[in-house]
Structure 1
Amino acid sequence: MARIRWIPEDEAGGEIADAYSAWKAANPGRPKIPGILKCFSLRPDFFRDVVGFSERLQFSEGHLTRRQKEMIATYVSALNQCPY
């Protein structure tokens, strides 16, 4: 159960519904918005900023490859017993 209040996808309207739709369009094959992103749903502007920053930081090639970044994130999540 979430401790942070967020807007569920089926209750989203207006700007956050648009932001959710944009995220889904950019992430085919992922049917649900991750909870870690929904934490920002009360501030749709910030939600978009976090998504953009995350894409640039985690999912683009740079000093580390995307694969290496995903491996690090998976390892850290396992250490933290985090389902994400």
Structure 2
Amino acid sequence: MNDGEAVLLGVDSISDFDGLDSRTHNDEVQFYAFDILVSDGDDLRKPPLSLRKTNLTRLLARRIDGIFLSDFEQGEIGPDLFRHASCSASRA
């Protein structure tokens, strides 16, 4: 079982939630995998995320059509990401 998100990209390469919700473009939907939680019935939540990402990369190496590995940032990015998102939201 993977953790991820179904995405429909618009012509501007930005996620189109309304198009995804309408279900009129199902053949264009892509799945971006973030993590692998279970494999062959084995619970993989205890190993570190970096190891799970490595396993997920290996699993998706065959490039299953429509499934992509989401980018992964190493290290502590949470505080910087939160500050950036907060600044962007306050300007909107």
TM over 0.5: no
Higher relative helix content:
1
Normalising by structure 2, we get a TM-score of 0.30
Higher relative strand content:
2
